[in-house]
Amino acid sequence: MSNEVEKFATTGEVIPTDEAQSWDRRTFLKSTATLAGATFLGAMASAAGGGKPVITKITILPVPGEFRRAVAMNSHGKESGFHKNGTNRFVRAFLSDGTVGIGEEGFVRVQEDGLKFLKGMIGIAPEDLFTWEDGYIKGHSPEFAAQMKDQQNCWFENVLLDLVGKLRGKPVHALFGPALRDGIDAYDGSLYFVDVASGRGPEAVAEVAKEIRGDGYRGLKIKIGRPWKWMPGEVGVVRDIDVIIATREAIGYDMNFMADANNGYQGKMDWAVRLLKESSLYRLNWIEEIFPETLEDYSQLHRMLQDINADTSVADGESVHDMDLYTPFMKAGEYRYIQPDTRTCGFSKILYAADLAYPYRVHVAPHNWASEMGKIACLHAVKIRKNIPVVEDDRYHNFVLDSSAYVFREGQWFIPDKPGWGVELLPEYDFFAQAGKEDVIS
């Protein structure tokens, strides 16, 4: 057992990946106690089973994991430096026949309404939450559709799909349609401000980029946006440009290369245009979150880029939970990639986003960060949608998860032909649960 695992279990210390992942356990327990007699969705629960296995218990447990290599801060990071550890809240759902489904809570933390929803899932047959056609899932049952769409609840669909896949003996992707590809391209998304954190120059980023190429990845994404906080003013813009140039020269021109500003150019249109103009020869596949998503700002950016003959694609939308909000941007030709977060939005929303984007010839590149389960869900989505071409690989592994059936070979991931998500929980899970950190809804 690793030192990190032992420390977590003995001290109870949770190392969140960001402040939004913090959790007030006392509030959770108080709310759960209040909901002990809740009947939200209860009327449906009594009729839903129909002899099928039904949900009898749901558990939530924070468990740690670590990145492949230490990760530095981004444009909005609170402190300069590196971190390697993070924490996810694993969720299990137990059926009356002994089947157990697993998943993770999304970035949107469960509040009181979400607790009502989870309490209402007790007694429900997972397959009854979906509509079916020719053996494939086509949507959510009408009586559950509104609740499953809500951002408080939609992440729970990933747990339900693990259950349904296990009940039907199929991988999750096979519940939705035939496979369109075998190997799945992935890009490494873990290269942050290692230059600033180490007190070095652009060469620090280029060195890690070269390592990533050596690991076999066909693409990588770096963080930019230094002018926002870490290197204010023109010096930050210049450093971003120099990092883009140094990275491209380190990896060559036959590798996909993206940059994510985390809105670090907010209110700085001229700087954003300068960045893209001076880096245009170095072929960024896309620029992500260069500033907050408004149709007016992105339309202006596109007009200015056309004037200087720069053609870097725009990607955005990781914080969007209502997929229809992408439509105005796609209709106006502003986005070439949209990026809903897989574990927060749930699997169906990602597929819906792909179907929504297809007529506009827009790709979906699902967002994923600090979540191995999130990456796995992305892999299944790529398997069955033509315009989801790639997976964001954060190089994160959770200490309780056995994902060894997934194989990375020659720059691609290969999905096992196993039911559900095709992963198992390791004995370490029980170690954490016995330490008294597991919340139970039943």
DSSP 206-247: HHHHHHHHHTT-SEEEEE--GGGTTSTTHHHHHHHHHHHHHH
Cβ pair 381, 357 in contact under 8 A: no
Cβ pair 218, 252 in contact under 8 A: no
Q: What's 219's domain CATH number? A: 3.20.20.120
Task: Report how far residue 364's alpha carbon sits from residue 48's, in angstroms, rounded to the nearest whole number.
Answer: 34
SS3 101: strand
My answer on whether 234 and 136 are in the same domain is no
Task: Report how far residue 222's alpha carbon sits from residue 276's, in angstroms, rounded to the nearest whole number.
Answer: 14
My answer on whether 270 and 392 are in the same domain is yes
My answer on whether 166 and 236 are in the same domain is no
My answer on whether 152 and 8 are in the same domain is yes
Task: Report how far residue 368's alpha carbon sits from residue 246's, in angstroms, rounded to the nearest whole number.
Answer: 25
Beta-carbon neighbour count of residue 20 at 10 Å? 9
My answer on whether 145 and 205 are in the same domain is no
Give the pTM: 0.89
Low-confidence stretches of the chain (pLDDT beneath 50): 1-48
Instruction: State the pLDDT at residue 27.
Output: 41
My answer on whether 19 and 52 are in the same domain is yes
My answer on whether 71 and 208 are in the same domain is no
Looking at this protein, which amino acid is placed at residue 434?
Q
If one counts the domains in the chain, the total is 2
Range of the domain at 191: 184-423
Instruction: State the pLDDT at residue 49.
Output: 54
My answer on whether 240 and 118 are in the same domain is no
Instruction: State the pLDDT at residue 391.
Output: 97
My answer on whether 191 and 110 are in the same domain is no
My answer on whether 225 and 306 are in the same domain is yes
131-144: burial string, b at 16+ Cβ within 10 Å, e else: eeeeeebeebeeeb
Instruction: State the pLDDT at residue 51.
Output: 85
My answer on whether 129 and 204 are in the same domain is no
Name which of 422, 354, 366 is nearest 392 in CA terms: 366
Structure tokens at 250: 């380190």
Q: What's 26's domain CATH number? A: 3.30.390.10
Widest distance between CA atoms in the chain: 67
Structure tokens at 249: 């020269």
Task: Report how far residue 46's alpha carbon sits from residue 342's, in angstroms, rounded to the nearest whole number.
Answer: 31
- The single residue listed with the structure tokens 């060894």 is 404
